[in-house]
Chain A
């Protein structure tokens, strides 16, 4: 996004600070004086005509119109109007137009080069041809002056004097010195044969003074004007320009000035009201004359004023960039159209954004419509002064902003403050500026920053803009005017829509500004929101009272409140824990209670050493029940473990989330709550009426803060420290939504402990739970007493805790039912067999049984060993059925899975029994086993039937049902491959070799897939190898002679081997029959 620094270049004198804002106060008189006496004295921009037209003037439509019409008339064009009246709502441009006419009147065509676009050169008079009369209604006297110097004291006298000097004045002296309007003779004498430009500035003021000085003054003036108009209309070469006032209440903005002038005139005190009525009366008579005859022209239209201002402040403005930026504004306005005034999205506003660039239209409107309403502000001159200061300030700071808004006025700059606040007579509002917005004296406040700055610090804008300061400043600026009428005035304060419209720019969006406006209610001292408008007021406000109370609060009562709130974080009746609050030292947690303790460390405990709390119960007192200590530690406390964690927690301590900072935030919040409680109780002590509290949204704010305190304190208790199952003292984070207190936190804690297997509840009765509990219970020995168990749950840090004492009984019962252990009671001291024993075989433990400390647990194996209870070996037949059932249900499974499933449904089965059962099933071909993967597709080597004689089931082995194996295609219906190999094979084949050809000739029909005879010994040393592959019966017949020869030649040695494979032996083939015949039998 382009910013103003890049797109605009201010005039050098503005940047250098040599700019004198008073140059804008030059009057017509001063320029006339310059021409008449050739004395410089006014800023050169006014007296140097060239500079005036080039650098000092932005040619508006009205300006051009006046100039060309006036000089056309003077040049003899009878169609151009003779009389012009300049009107402006802004007080700007009137005098400027008159000065322009003065320059052209005196210099004429000498200025041709710089008047190109303004006046057609044919209308330009030769230099010196025109008599210029310029009269300022403020300066011309109404009484006969004393002294020898000739000073005309009537309007007509002054005109004559300016046209013809002393001579002409003398010629018409009778008329000129009389208070009655002059007759025809006067006009003939004064104007005949001349080209005269008559300019009368501030006519209304003159009229008022005149009528104050003499009763018939205004009538005579009206008569003169009438006559003058008549003469001018009928004679070319005379042009008259007035400035009166545009509105009917000509003096509404200038009553004080008028009163001063009138007091001077009449010599007595004139009140503002008197002055107003006198002024009104005076202009009534002339107004009708002027209105009838004069062509009224508005030299500067509202839309042009910024161009005029820009011309005076900037050397150059990049207008293409302006369009670009206006488009960005337009997009922002469209996106937020529901929050902004309707005009924001209208296309003409887009145009005015470009026209006003680099000023935002709302800023100019503010200056022109609001501030300029103050007389002391001096209309457009004041506007220019403020803008010049603002531009200088922004360029000095190199402010990267897209457009200049009212909120960019630097209210820390004393000169700007003086212009804006001082001239509007709002000095008393400086307190507002300093306390809420941030002004030159804010540094001297307690705390040194304003409320808006504080809000900005709390909630910084992502791009670094001081969001709150901007927004609040806008509200403040709009409260400078119309204060006397308060909300009754429609220029006092501003609505939310307008405020958003004024403040937001690309980068600082309306929703963000809304946030800042909302904050006004909560923390601004003087800014208010009432009847739909934001404004500043010095009335005592709730926020001031609260601030006062907050400062006066004792830190002890703040601590008390925080402690009391902390006690509510966990309600005392919830969960398995005894709740202890305000804990700061190990001795605060009782030992030997048998119940888990949840200790809430006090918010102001500073630092605690967690292992001390777990291992000791005070100085020199070792803690017995170390497993029962649970610490809920707030963020305001530094928790040390004396180990590696210490470092990480220590480093966090210094950051913004460090304990001391958190504590500070809590204290601040508690102060708010206490202050609100106090104010609610005794509002009259702080000049606040009780009705104000009920009417205001105070109640809502109070409730909100109270809740905020509770939730903030609850959130602060974030760390749960406890001795975990790992044996370490660990820290887990508790996250609550906040605000609910009690139950929510307790639930969170429970969840954390359950996740960490630290809490045993009545639901912990699944196989896995019971197995792991069994491991805990029978760590060292196979027998353990209930009393020991209870103590271990309290004392051994690796153990979990019981959610309630009765959970132990539930777990014991479940374990007995699942066959994890047996419950027994020895009874008499001399008994060798338990009086009572409960195991899986005996069925469940009776519900009526009270499992007290006399009972003990023993593992099933331990019970067997001791010969207690029934033999627990399951019946093999029964077990086989169960295994078969389980395997059938899952069709493919591993040995270990089957074992688990069996344990689930039928209790623990000793591994050897299970293996036995499996083996029997496999041997009976009811199940197959293989070593591999349960999901595999490739055919494994199945272990089945007789092949399983020596099989020992391994845990990872896969068990599959025959039907499943068949589905996978792993079972051949009959695998008939005939194989012989090695020495044994040689012994079978060699005797047949000689007959092979004849066997096949006699009907052998089996294809020999491989026949490989090796190391057949040759008679004279050496060996022979013969290999036959894929030989059909016919081939073998053909080779019969070869076989006979070889058989005759070689002998079988001990190395001779054979490898014969026939994949599809035909059972009725003689060769196969011969092969299958046992050679040994044959021999016998």
Chain B
């Protein structure tokens, strides 16, 4: 039998004391969960919409912020991106700028953690970009290439490209997405994917 999913007591305490309080205010949240008919775990990246960003609050007295799903990642692509995801999340700090050390929740051969993780603007945009861009890409090398190259974006770049993909209307977003895929990962079966990937890995 598979051992029952359990995080160690220490990690659980860390989560409850340090990580959970951050979630309420975090602009992005990464949810680690399980979906029926999808390999476990499923990563869902959610963006927080503050009350003033919501368009459906007209008849509400005291509207609250809500979390809106922006992308999923599971299965083989998730496994391929995991090292990069860990690095991205590893850079998330708490309100005092102390690293939250979130990478630990996604490490090990088997991810047993099931809960929400807070992400700052930079991490959130990057995760959302990766989750969106990897959709329907069959070659895992290209998925990894996208993840690694998105990881090298600055916060502003990530924000800018994310907005290109989401806020300029359906057609424009679609084109932006297609363009980004080519920009970051080339065409399928491009012989240079390997070299570029090796180089990125070498530089860490």
Instruction: Give A contacts to B, CB under 8 Å.
Output: 554, 556-557, 560-561, 564, 567, 580-592, 602, 605-606, 612, 616-621, 674, 677-678
Contact = CB atoms under 8 A, between A and B. Distances in A.
A557 B5 CA distance: 29
Interface stretch (B44-52, B72-80, B93-101): B72-80
A575 B37 CA distance: 26
A586 B2 contact: yes
Interface stretch (B11-19, B128-136, B153-161, B196-204): B196-204
Given A557-B202, A584-B109, A587-B40, A564 B197 contact: yes
B2 A588 contact: no
Given A581-B140, A605-B109, A619 B201 contact: no
Contact of A612 (B2, B41, B75): B2
A925 B41 CA distance: 77
Given A564-B197, A616-B1, 11 more contacts: A561-B198, A564-B201, A587-B39, A587-B41, A591-B39, A605-B109, A617-B39, A618-B2, A619-B3, A619-B112, A678-B202
Using C-beta atoms within 8 Å of the partner chain, give the interface range for chain B: 20 to 34
Interface in B1-57: 1-5, 34, 37, 39-41
Given A556-B204, A561-B201, A580 B2 contact: no
B104 to A, nearest CB: 15
What are the 3 tightest A-B residue pairs by CB atom distance, in nearest-first order?
Answer: A584-B109, A585-B110, A560-B201
A620 B40 CA distance: 11
A619 B4 contact: yes
A309 to B, nearest CB: 58
Contact of B109 (A590, A606, A678): A606
A484 to B, nearest CB: 42
B83 interface: yes
B5 A619 contact: yes
A674 B202 contact: yes
20 contacts: A557-B202, A557-B204, A561-B201, A564-B197, A567-B141, A580-B76, A581-B140, A582-B79, A585-B110, A585-B111, A587-B41, A588-B76, A588-B79, A591-B39, A592-B37, A602-B109, A618-B39, A619-B2, A619-B3, A619-B4
A677 B201 CA distance: 12
Contacts of A581: 76, 140
A603 to B, nearest CB: 11
A564 B110 contact: no
Interface of B: 1-5, 34, 37, 39-41, 75-76, 79-80, 83, 109-112, 140-141, 197-198, 201-202, 204
A621 B109 CA distance: 17
A617 B111 CA distance: 13
Contacts, number: 66
Contact of A560 (B41, B75, B83, B140): B83
A586 B75 CA distance: 11
A621 B40 contact: yes
Contacts of B110: 584-585, 587
A616 B202 CA distance: 36
B202 A619 contact: no
Contacts of B202: 557, 674, 677-678
Nearest to A613: B2
Nearest to A587: B40
A619 B40 contact: yes
B40 A618 contact: yes
Contacts of B79: 582-583, 588
A561 B83 CA distance: 13
Given A561-B201, A619-B112, A567 B140 contact: yes
Contacts of B112: 619
B67 to A, nearest CB: 25
Nearest to B111: A585
A580 B4 CA distance: 24
B193 to A, nearest CB: 11
A588 B38 CA distance: 10
Contacts of B34: 618
Nearest to B110: A585
B37 to A, nearest CB: 7
Contacts of B2: 586, 612, 616, 618-620
A594 to B, nearest CB: 14
Contacts of B39: 587-591, 617-618
Contacts of A590: 39, 75
Q: Which of B109, B110, B141, B198 has the most CB of A within 10 A?
A: B109
A554 B202 CA distance: 9
A435 B68 CA distance: 62
A589 B202 CA distance: 29
Nearest to B87: A556
A581 B80 CA distance: 9
A557 B109 contact: no
A591 to B, nearest CB: 8
Contact of B1 (A564, A612, A674): A612
Nearest to A554: B204
Nearest to A582: B79
Contacts of A620: 2
Given A584-B109, A612-B1, A557 B201 contact: yes
B85 to A, nearest CB: 14
Interface centre among A561, A585, A616, A678 (most CB of B within 10 A): A585
A880 to B, nearest CB: 61
A879 to B, nearest CB: 55
B50 to A, nearest CB: 35
Contacts of B201: 557, 560-561, 564
A560 B148 CA distance: 12
Nearest to B138: A572
Contacts of B204: 554, 556-557
B184 to A, nearest CB: 18
Nearest to A601: B109
A621 to B, nearest CB: 7
A624 to B, nearest CB: 11
A560 B83 CA distance: 9
A1053 B39 CA distance: 99
Contacts of A602: 109
Interface centre among B4, B37, B40, B141 (most CB of A within 10 A): B40
Among B80, B201, B204, which residue has the most Cβ atoms of chain A within 10 A?
A: B201
A271 to B, nearest CB: 55
Nearest to A589: B39
A1047 to B, nearest CB: 98
A561 B194 CA distance: 11
A612 to B, nearest CB: 5
Contacts of A616: 1-2
Contacts of B109: 584-585, 602, 605-606
